[in-house]
Structure 1
């Protein structure tokens, strides 16, 4: 049975996957949740040393994750959220994974819709061009808009306090410029016929990665005959992997993997 590799996105620490790791361990899977390059092993350490995460871009993180996969006995299953979903798509497209679940995945090259809510969610980074070389934190209020807009303020604030860390601004700048760059690091091999199956999951009320982006992402795979499924959770926001409804998303992911024989 392949190992499941959990990949987080911006502003969440890898330890935010702990409930998922326990859930999939009970289902019989080995799991790992590697950190991004330069990010310490705990939320407290990451907050205390924001400069350690700064200036790491999409290629840096992708290569770091690929290095973490080298010691596995067989290609893993990847489950990623937000930018972690993009990394899962990239690694799957490279043929280095058995399957991938990309949850509210960040925009890849070729995806054109850019809703206003997505722009608003990323404003904490884009408001200062120098943030391309910095690590940026979200305030509790910014997190409520970007992640916790479907939650009670108390739950959103508790998640912000528990899991959020400073994250590099560089991946967002790279993704924003993807459709204007010939060799963008946000490019994914969407036409790969030989890759493993991919599940895209969309939160219908996600401000950071609105469902229109996920649906446009699925269309990018139209030239590949490999399995590319999409499941939508109509009433969920960007916090769907960490809020009180995370188990429903995890159960849906497990059911889909079993349908793929994994």
Structure 2
């Protein structure tokens, strides 16, 4: 068998969430590439190539919403050789579910995913995380940054202040307010961009994960998301908890445990 006859590597597409740059996935891309996948982590529409460049021109992300992010990744997938596995964190997890349900992905892993339409849980820690953005209606069309203190509560609450501050300095970027407003009103909006077909979509397997100490997306939110898929027997949906982990679980010192779980799950599903 010649090299040309070998099957192409399985594409894996990583999707970041609010307030983190796509380069925060770099260790994951390196790991998955070493395991034989064709891995990449393109940014959102409006993201610059680096953290510093994105911070310098945050207006490029103004008014970027869920629909634009979804369409951006759908277009990227159109240029790949085969349907990718999509792995998303936070709002990236919501986009990953939408891509899977709409036939753009072969499988998906949603890590501490932002709530999709139909989730009703509003734990206090989640409200505290999003309140600085939602409290000002003008933020819908603007970008908003997290201070180191806000990041420590929302992302790094299971970490030392030193580690949290280091992650904030290394990876955070301004995030558009629009997705938060769209998500907050999803259950009151008929054609919400946060809607996912959880009932009838025939799709590849989906893994929903949650950190039990996550302040931004508490585990109850992920559990309710999982239950929305319960009446879709034709498609596989599974749930996994990371005990004692917060919203920083994809970038903090324990990221390899999360990545290892993702790799094991994909291998078990034949990817």
- Superposition TM-score tier, normalisation by shorter sequence: over 0.9
Contact 1:39 1:52 in 2 (8 A): yes
Rounded to whole Å, the distance in 2 between the matches of 1:143 and 1:180 is 29
Q: Give the alignment partner of residue 210 of structure 1, picking from 202, 213, 218.
A: 218
What secondary structure, in the 3-state scheme, does the structure 1 residue paired with 2:133 have?
A: helix
Equivalenced residues, count: 262
Instruction: Report deviation, 1:2.
Output: 2.1
Structure 1 counterpart of 2:231 = 223
Scaled by the length of structure 1, what TM-score is found? 0.99
Q: Deviations over 1:48-101 (max 9, x none)?
A: 111111100000100011111111111100000000000000000001100000
Contact 1:124 1:138 in 2 (8 A): no
Contact 1:92 1:99 in 2 (8 A): yes
Is 1:235 the counterpart of 2:218? The answer is no
Which runs of 5 or more residues in structure 1 are unaligned?
none
Rounded to whole Å, the distance in 1 between the matches of 2:259 and 2:253 is 12
Rounded to whole Å, the distance in 1 between the matches of 2:109 and 2:164 is 24
Contact 1:109 1:175 in 2 (8 A): yes
Is 1:248 the counterpart of 2:257? The answer is yes
Contact 2:12 2:39 in 1 (8 A): yes
Contact 2:85 2:107 in 1 (8 A): yes
Rounded to whole Å, the distance in 2 between the matches of 1:48 and 1:67 is 26
- The CA RMSD measured in Å over matched residues stands at 0.7
Rounded to whole Å, the distance in 2 between the matches of 1:47 and 1:72 is 29
Structure 1 counterpart of 2:4 = none
Contact 1:117 1:208 in 2 (8 A): yes
Q: Deviations over 1:107-165 (max 9, x none)?
A: 10001101010010112211211000000000000000000000000000000000000
Instruction: Report deviation, 1:192.
Output: 3.3
Greater Cα offset, 190-199 or 67-76: 190-199
Q: Give the alignment partner of residue 71 of structure 1, picking from 58, 76, 79.
A: 79
